[in-house]
Amino acid sequence: MATRLRAIAPLTISIGVLAFVASEIALNFTFHWVTVQDGVFGKYGLPEGIHLVLPALFVAWGLYFMLGADNAALGKTVIAALTGAVFAGIAMFFGPLFAESPHFWGLALWIGITALGLVVLSTVVEDDRFAPAPAFCCYASVFFWWIATGLDRFVPGGKGPHTAEAIVAAITNKPLAAGTGAFGGLLSMSWIWVAISVFVSLVCGALLGVLSVKLAGVLGKLGARRRGPEGNVAVGT
C-alpha cells in the first residue's frame, strides 16, 4: 500500500493544488472580478453575462482522466463539451416553443430528441470521438446550470433583471417577486450565456486535466531526484 501511495503522490498533490487554485479563480471570477457591480448582495457581486461554472470544471476534468488522460482524451473531451453544449442549447431553444412554463412536456420532448441526436452523431465516425456518454455528461452540466440560474426562456424573466438596483429591490421584497430569477436574480443569466459559460468552463476543466498530468510529471521527477541514484534507477526500470 505504501508503494502505491508513493506512486500516486505526485498526481494527488497536483490535483489537490490545482483544484484549490481553480476553485478560487472560478468563484472569484463569477462573484467578484467579472461583475456588473460588486457588493450587491452582502459582499457578493452581480455577475456579468459569462460565468466560470465550477461544477463543469470538475466534470470535464474527470472526463479527461476517464478517457485516457492523453492528447486524444483532450480532443475527445473538447468535442464532448461542444456537442453537449450545442445539443443542450437546441433543447433550451425549442423546448419552450412547444410548451411554456409550468408545463414540462416540451422540454422533455426536446431532451429526448437531442439525446437521440447525440447517439446518432456517434455513428458518423468509426472511432469514439463522438461517443454519446461523455457528451451526455456535458449536456447535463448545461442543464444543471440552466436550472440553477433561473431557466431563462422557459420561465418568464428567468434571466433576472441584471441591474444592481433591480437586484437589491428583488431580494428585499418578501416574498421574492415572480420572474426575478435564481437567488433574486443574483445568479441568473440568459440561456445563451448558460450554454457558452458551461462550454468554456468544460474546456477549462479539460485543460486542467492536462495541466495536472504535466505538474504530476514535474513533481515525480523532483521526488526521484531527492531519493537519489537508486530511486532514479527504480523509476527508469
Region 188-217 average pLDDT: 96
Residue 155 CA, distance from chain mean position: 22
161: nearest Cα among 200, 124, 190: 190
pLDDT 10s digits, 53-103: 999 999 999 999 999 999 999 999 999 999 999 999 999 999 999 999 889
Helix, strand or coil for residue 237?
coil
Domain that holds residue 96: 2-236
Query: Per the structure block, which three cell numbers stand in for 47?
Result: 455577475
Number of separate domains in the chain: 1
Cα dihedral sign, 137-143-146-152: positive
The pTM of this model reads 0.88
Which cell numbers hold the place of 10?
505526485
Of 176, 180, 183, residue with least CA distance to 158:
180
* Percentage, residues of the chain above pLDDT 70: 84
